[in-house]
Structure 1
Amino acid sequence: MKIGCPQEIKPQEYRVGITPNAAREAVAHGHQVLIETDAGLGSGFPDADYVAAGATIVDTAETVFAEADMIVKVKEPQRVERARLREGQVLFTYLHLAPDPAQTKDLLASGATCIAYETVTDSRGGLPLLAPMSEVAGRLAPQVGAWTLQKANGGRGVLLGGVPGVGPARVVVIGGGVVGINAARVAAGMGADVTVLDRSIPRLSYLDDLFHGRLKTSYASKGNTAELVAEADLVIGAVLVPGAAAPKLVSRAQLSTMKPGAAIVDVAIDQGGCFETSHATTHDEPIYEVDGIMHYCVANMPGAVARTSTIALGNATMPFMLALADKGWRQACKDDPHLLAGLNTHAGRLTCPAVGEALGMEVLAAEEALAL
């Protein structure tokens, strides 16, 4: 199979879909790997690393899309990339279709078989291809939140860990999953007063045991959430409904209860965001203000630490990429129901129920799509 990897073109996206190590593995399996020139530079991988791994460097993204049987990326295809997809071609990348009807329409029109990292599952009910980026984004969230709180950026001028004689910032993390647990770990490590909200009592018990009293836990009722958000200096939104649009957990009306200059970091922005006032931003202009509250809503947070993120993502995606290349997408999905869960579109049909529910579109069962 010809596996193609174009350079990412989303603003300030420095990751790359295939590492030299992954390219070397694919070549060893008998596949041809096409890498757009300079695709890996943002992650610290020059073309020479790919050549040494046995990959072929091509001059343009158009060539990659035209020649490859499978396209491997990081971020959702941009409009110009979606126009290059064709029927029978496999796209393997993050898609986040639930809040993006325009992308969904274009992918369906292309007829391509699109498998989304974020809906591939595992035997424990986890999301193995989303987890590494959730870990990165979670650990980044307190860092960027602390920066957003600085007065020069419009924030309250509060130091997350405080100093002797001055109390620490109050940080509220909404969601105790992979993002939340990593955000809480770093925020607590920075000396903040951290509270994690979640609707799962077993999860709250786990967090309490894990952190040995270094943070607080609270059940995520509407009343508790409203009270804690009003008291917070920094709120980190870390909720996820796999494949679906994120629920809106903090309304615009609640912003008026927050302290002027308090900060919000919406890690769920890829799925539409969990604050009513959230809209996606970029690393170029990451912060905006609504009603005196500073919002950090960068849709590709892990891109800021591109090398770490690329290697972590490549480690997770490589076995699935090889299975798709070795067996073909159809047989690979037949053999692995967890990979089949990643199928979002095929031959002009939507195959992800959560996306269909979010967008009000008809869905064909993924199992039935295998027969098309």
Structure 2
Amino acid sequence: MLVGAPKETKDNEFRVGLTPATVAELTHRGHTVIIEKSAGVGSGLMDDEYANAGAEIVDTPQEIFARAEMVVKVKELQAAERTMLRRGQILFAYLHLAPDLVQTQDLISSGSACIAYETVTASSGGLPLLTPMSEVAGRLAPQVGAHALEKESGGRGVLLGGVPGAPVADVLIIGGGIAGTNAAMIALGMGAQVTLLDQSLDVLRRLATQFGGHVRTIFSTRAAIADLVTKADLVIGAVLVPGASAPKLITRTMLKTMKQGSVFVDIAIDQGGCAETSRPTTHSNPTFVVDGVVHYCVANMPGAVARTSTFALNNATLPFTLQLADKGWRQALKDDIHLRNGLNVCGGKITCKPVAEEHGLGFTPAEAFLD
């Protein structure tokens, strides 16, 4: 198979879909790989490293899309890129279609087979291709939140860990999954007082054991959220409904009760965000203020630490990339139900039920394309 990786075009997105090590695995199996010139530079990966691994370096994204049977990316295709997709071509990337009707419609029109990292599942449970970026975003959240709390950033002027004689910051984390757990670990390590909410008692028990009682765990209800946001200096939204838009757990009314200069970091922004006031921002302009609360809603947080993120992502995607290249998408999806769960759009149809429901469009099971 001819596999291609274009340079990412989203604002300050420095990750890359394939590393030289992944290229070497593909070429070792007899596949051809083309990489857009300088695609890996933002992750510290030079063109000669790709060439030494067996890749052909090409000058333009147009050549990638024109030649590749499978396009491997990190972030969703931008509008100009979507016009280059071909019928029957494989797209393997993060898509986050539930909050993005325009992208969904464009992918439907393309006729391509679009496999979303974020809905591929695992036999052990969970979302193995979302996990590494959830780990990164979770660990970044207290860090960017601490910066936003600084006075010059518009925050309250509170140091997350405090100092002797001055109180530490109060950090509230909504959601105890991968991102929330990692956020709690870093916030605790920075010396903050951490409270974590989740609707699963099993999750709360796991967190209580993991953190030895140093993190306060509370069952998540709207009443609990409404009460706790009034006390928090930093709120981190880390909720996830696989494939669907994030629930709006923080209302505008709740926001008005928060401390002036407090900070809200919305890790769930890729899926639409978990506050009524959330809207996607970029690394170039990461924050905005509503009712005195600083919002950080960067939709590609892991791009800030591109080298770490690129290697972490490729470690997870490699087995699936090889399956798709070795077998073709139909056979690979037929053989692996978990990879099949990643198919979001195919042949002009939506094959992910939460996405179809979100947009009020028809749903066609993936199995319909595998005969």
1:61-76 equivalence runs, <5 A:
61-76=61-76
How far apart are residue 304 of structure 1 and its match?
Answer: 0.1
Q: Secondary structure at the match of 1:163?
A: coil
Distance between the aligned counterparts of 1:195 and 1:367, measured in 2? 43
Distance between the aligned counterparts of 2:359 and 2:251, measured in 1? 22
Corresponding residue for residue 178 of structure 2: 178
Distance between the aligned counterparts of 2:38 and 2:206, measured in 1? 44
1:221-300 equivalence runs, <5 A:
221-300=221-300
Corresponding residue for residue 169 of structure 2: 169
Corresponding residue for residue 155 of structure 1: 155
Letter of the aligned partner of 2:279 in structure 1?
A: H
- Checking the alignment, whether the CA contact within 8 Å between 2:330 and 2:369 is kept in structure 1 is no
Letter of the aligned partner of 2:71 in structure 1?
A: I
Corresponding residue for residue 343 of structure 1: 343
Q: Secondary structure at the match of 2:171?
A: strand
Cα deviation, 1:6-46, whole Å, max 9, x if unaligned, reads: 00001100000000000000000100000000000000001
Distance between the aligned counterparts of 2:125 and 2:360, measured in 1? 25
- Checking the alignment, whether the CA contact within 8 Å between 2:288 and 2:294 is kept in structure 1 is yes
2:122 paired with 1:117: no
Letter of the aligned partner of 1:146 in structure 2?
A: A
2:138 paired with 1:131: no
How far apart are residue 262 of structure 1 and its match?
Answer: 0.3
- Checking the alignment, whether the CA contact within 8 Å between 1:161 and 1:190 is kept in structure 2 is yes
2:40 paired with 1:40: yes
2:212 paired with 1:206: no
How far apart are residue 221 of structure 1 and its match?
Answer: 1.0
Letter of the aligned partner of 2:306 in structure 1?
A: A
Corresponding residue for residue 192 of structure 1: 192
- Checking the alignment, whether the CA contact within 8 Å between 1:351 and 1:369 is kept in structure 2 is no
- Checking the alignment, whether the CA contact within 8 Å between 1:3 and 1:71 is kept in structure 2 is yes
Distance between the aligned counterparts of 1:277 and 1:228, measured in 2? 18
Corresponding residue for residue 23 of structure 1: 23
Q: Secondary structure at the match of 1:230?
A: coil
How far apart are residue 167 of structure 1 and its match?
Answer: 1.1
What is the number of residues matched between the two proteins?
Answer: 371
Gaps of 5+ in 1: none
Distance between the aligned counterparts of 1:352 and 1:260, measured in 2? 41
- Checking the alignment, whether the CA contact within 8 Å between 1:196 and 1:217 is kept in structure 2 is yes
How far apart are residue 78 of structure 1 and its match?
Answer: 0.4
Distance between the aligned counterparts of 1:277 and 1:370, measured in 2? 41
Distance between the aligned counterparts of 2:108 and 2:74, measured in 1? 19
How far apart are residue 275 of structure 1 and its match?
Answer: 0.6
Letter of the aligned partner of 1:138 in structure 2?
A: G
Provide runs of 4+ in structure 1 moved above 4 Å. Answer: none
RMSD over aligned Cα, in angstroms? 0.5
- Checking the alignment, whether the CA contact within 8 Å between 1:91 and 1:113 is kept in structure 2 is yes
Distance between the aligned counterparts of 1:95 and 1:214, measured in 2? 36
Corresponding residue for residue 13 of structure 1: 13
Aligned-pair identity in percent equals 61
How far apart are residue 66 of structure 1 and its match?
Answer: 0.2
Distance between the aligned counterparts of 2:264 and 2:319, measured in 1? 36
- Checking the alignment, whether the CA contact within 8 Å between 1:120 and 1:339 is kept in structure 2 is yes
Distance between the aligned counterparts of 1:307 and 1:175, measured in 2? 27
Distance between the aligned counterparts of 1:237 and 1:109, measured in 2? 33
- Checking the alignment, whether the CA contact within 8 Å between 2:114 and 2:346 is kept in structure 1 is yes
How far apart are residue 141 of structure 1 and its match?
Answer: 0.1
How far apart are residue 369 of structure 1 and its match?
Answer: 2.3
Gaps of 5+ in 2: none
Letter of the aligned partner of 1:121 in structure 2?
A: T
Distance between the aligned counterparts of 2:95 and 2:135, measured in 1? 18
Cα deviation, 1:235-284, whole Å, max 9, x if unaligned, reads: 00000000100000000111111100000000000000001100000000
Distance between the aligned counterparts of 1:286 and 1:50, measured in 2? 32
Letter of the aligned partner of 1:328 in structure 2?
A: G
Distance between the aligned counterparts of 2:96 and 2:259, measured in 1? 32
- Checking the alignment, whether the CA contact within 8 Å between 1:134 and 1:178 is kept in structure 2 is yes
- Checking the alignment, whether the CA contact within 8 Å between 2:119 and 2:341 is kept in structure 1 is yes
- Checking the alignment, whether the CA contact within 8 Å between 2:85 and 2:110 is kept in structure 1 is yes
How far apart are residue 124 of structure 1 and its match?
Answer: 1.9
Letter of the aligned partner of 1:67 in structure 2?
A: R
Corresponding residue for residue 307 of structure 2: 307
How far apart are residue 370 of structure 1 and its match?
Answer: 1.7
